[in-house]
Amino acid sequence: MEKAALYHRPESEYAYLYDKDTMHIRLRTKRNDVSNVKLISGDPYLIHETKWYNHSENMQIMAQTEDYDYWFIEKTAGFKRLQYAFELTDNKERVFYGDRGLFEMTEQARMKAENYFRLPYFHDIDRVKTPEWVKKTVWYQIFPERFDNGDTTNDPDNVLEWGSKNPDRDDFFGGDLQGVINRLDHLVDLGINGIYFCPIFKASSNHKYDTIDYFEIDPQFGTKELFKELVEKAHEKGIKIMLDAVFNHTGYYSKEWLDVVENGEKSKYKDWFHINRYPVEFGKNGNFEGATTIAYDTFAFTPRMPKLNTANPEVREYLLKIAKYWIEEFDIDAWRLDVANEVDHHFWKAFYHETTSLKEDFYILGEIWHSSQSWLNGDEFHAVMNYAYTETIINYFVKKDISSTKLASGLYEQLMLYRNQINQVMFNCLDSHDTTRVLTLCNGDKDLAKMTLAFTFLQQGSPCIYYGTEYAMEGENDPDCRRCMVWEEDKQDKEFYEFIKELIQLRHNEQHIISYGSLDFNLLDNEKNIVGFKRVLDNQELIAIFNNSLTENIGLDNKENVIFSQNIILNSEKIIIKPKGFVVYKKCYR
C-alpha cells in the first residue's frame, strides 16, 4: 500500500456538512492501490460505552484521476458530532488511518479515542451555504457598450456606426441599458434566467473597469432610474441580475486618485492606495506603459488603474457601502468580483457578511483563474469563474492537447478541490470579454463548438453564454471578442440559435440530475477519442457520449430514449455517432 498517497483533512473539502443533516467524507488513496475502504465512526463520548469502533461502513470511489482514487461516504441525520477513522485494505495488509497517522488494524488501535479524526460539533452557522437558485440559472454575459444601442441621445461624441468595424481598444459604439431592456424578450425566448453585466458604473473607457464613481451609472449607459426599470422588468421575467464590482483598483480619473495626483503626500486619500514614491502623475516617476520601476501599484502594469488599499478602514467602509447600496436601492441578486484574488481576505469576509445579511440568497462570484479553496470556505465567495475546469474541456475538445482519460482526470481533480455545494454553483464559461470567443477557438467549426458547449452544459455548475454566441459570433482575444452584437437578421445564424435554445432547455429540464447526480466517466477511449459519462440520481440515469475523432463510431442500441444529439445516424439496430457528434439519453428505473 502506498501510504504516502493517503490524504484526509477534517473540516475541509474532505469532511464537511453538506446540509444541516448530512455529512460528506472523502479520502484520497493512490490509484488502484487500495481494494476496500471502510469508515469507522461514532460519537466521541460513547466510544467505550457502545464500542462503535467494532463496526464500519463501506466507502465508494467517487472520482478517479491519473494518480489518485477518491473515496466517499455520506452520513445522514442522527448525530451532532463525529469521531472517525478509515480502515484500508489491499492484497497484502489492512491498516487504520486516523488523526495520529497509520497503525496496524488492531483492537488497541481502534479503541484509542486519540487516534480518530474529530468533528467536535456540527454548527449550522459554519456550514458552507450556497444559493439554491444559482443551480437553476443559465447566465448570459453582456458587455454593455456592445450589446445594443437603445438610446442614441446618450451616445458619446466619438460614437461609431454600430458594427461598422471590428473594435479597437478605444472605440465606442453606443451600447446602453435601454438596449438591454429592449432585448429582454430575446433572452426570455432563449431561456436565459440570469444576466451578468460587465461594469456599468461611471468610467472613462468603453469597458468601464476603470471606475470614476461607483455610485453612478455611466451616462453613456443611462440613469439610475433606467437601471432600476431594467432590474424590475428582468425580475418580472424571472431573470436575476449580477453586477461587476471592481474593488481591486479604481480609475485614474476618480476624485480620490486625482486628489493624490494634485496634492501628493498632503492628499487625504494618499493611504487609499499603494504608493511607493511621489509624484504619482501618470507618465512621471516610473508609471507608464512598459515601465520597470513602479511609483504606485496598479492592476497588472496598467497605470490608469491604481490599486486600492482595502486594508485601510476608510477604503473598506467606502467599498462596503457601495456593495450594499446597489442591493438596497436596486435589488440586484449577485456581485461578480473583478481581480478578486488580489484583494485581502479580511475585506472579502466583511463583504460576505454585509451583503448576505441584506439578502440571504445573494450570490458572490470571484474572478479567480486558479485553485481557490481559501476563498470558498463559506465566508467569502460562493463560487469562482471556473476557468480551470472549462480550460480542461477546451484542451480536449478544441485544442486536442489531452486524451480522454486526461480530460476526466482533470475535471475530477477540479471537483475534488471543493465541497459539493460549491461545485453546484460554480460559474462555467467557455469564453468571456477576457478571452477569444469559443467559435473562433474552434476555427469557425460550428459542429465542434456545439459539441463543446453541450459537454459544458452537462457539467455541475451554472453555465454562461457570452452575448452573441447564440448567433455564432466570432472574435479573437480582447478587444476583438467585444464586437457589436449582431441584430441584423440576415447576418444571424438562426440554426445555431435554435441549437443554443434547445441546449438551454435541456439544461433546465435535466438541471436536478446534473446538479445532484453522481458523475461516472464510464467510457474513455484514447485511441478513438471517445468520452462518455453518466449521472445517476435515485432511479434515473443521464448518459452522454461524445465523438471527438475524425471517424464514425457505433454508440448504442437504438432503443434508448435519446433526448438530445448531433451528427448521429439512426438505423434499426444501432446509433452511429459521426465525427463531432454526441448523443444524450436518459434511463428511468422503477
343's grid cell: 484583494
Catalytic residue among 338, 413, 510, 520: 338
Query: Which is it for strands 68-75 and 22-30: parallel, antiparallel or unpaired?
Result: antiparallel
- Residue 274's alpha-carbon distances to 259, 260, 311, in angstroms, are 15, 11, 10
Q: Which three cell numbers stand for residue 61?
A: 470511489
Give me the catalytic one of 13, 145, 367, 474: 367
Query: Are 425 and 514 in contact, with CB atoms under 8 Å apart?
Result: no
- Residue recorded with cell 497503525: 103
| CB-based contact 243:200 (threshold 8 Å) | yes
Distance in angstroms (rounded) separating the CA atoms of residues 359 and 190:
28
By CB neighbour count within 10 A (0-12 exposed, 13-18 middle, 19+ buried), where does 482 fall? buried
Rounded Cα–Cα distance for residues 396 and 556 (Å):
23
Does residue 232 sit in helix, strand or coil?
helix
Specify the long-range contacts of residues 446-450, CB closer than 8 Å, at least 24 apart: 446/472, 446/493, 446/496, 447/566, 447/567, 447/580, 447/581, 448/397, 448/398, 448/580, 450/496, 450/499, 450/503, 450/566, 450/580
Whether residue 286 contacts residue 320, with contact meaning beta carbons closer than 8 Å, is answered with no
Asked about 13 being catalytic, the answer comes back as no
Which residue matches cell numbers 433606467? 226
Residues 338, 246 contacting (CB under 8 angstroms): yes
Q: Is 367 a catalytic residue?
A: yes
| Spatial contact of 148 and 140, defined as CB atoms under 8 Å apart | no
- Under 8 Å between Cβ of 154 and 219: yes
Identify the CA nearest to 187 among candidates 510, 431, 439, 500: 500
* Integer angstrom CA distances of residue 171 from 89, 144, 183: 65, 13, 23
Q: Are 364 and 377 in contact (CB under 8 A)?
A: no
CA distance 397 to 443: 12
How does DSSP assign 319-383, residue by residue?
Answer: HHHHHHHHHHHH---EEEETTGGGS-HHHHHHHHHHHHHH-TT-EEEE---S--GGG-SSSS-SE
How many Å apart are CA 417 and CA 113, to the nearest integer?
Answer: 29
498, three cell numbers: 435554435
Residue 454 is which amino acid?
A
Nearest to 241 by CA among 303, 198, 298: 198
Among all residues, which ones are annotated catalytic? 338, 367
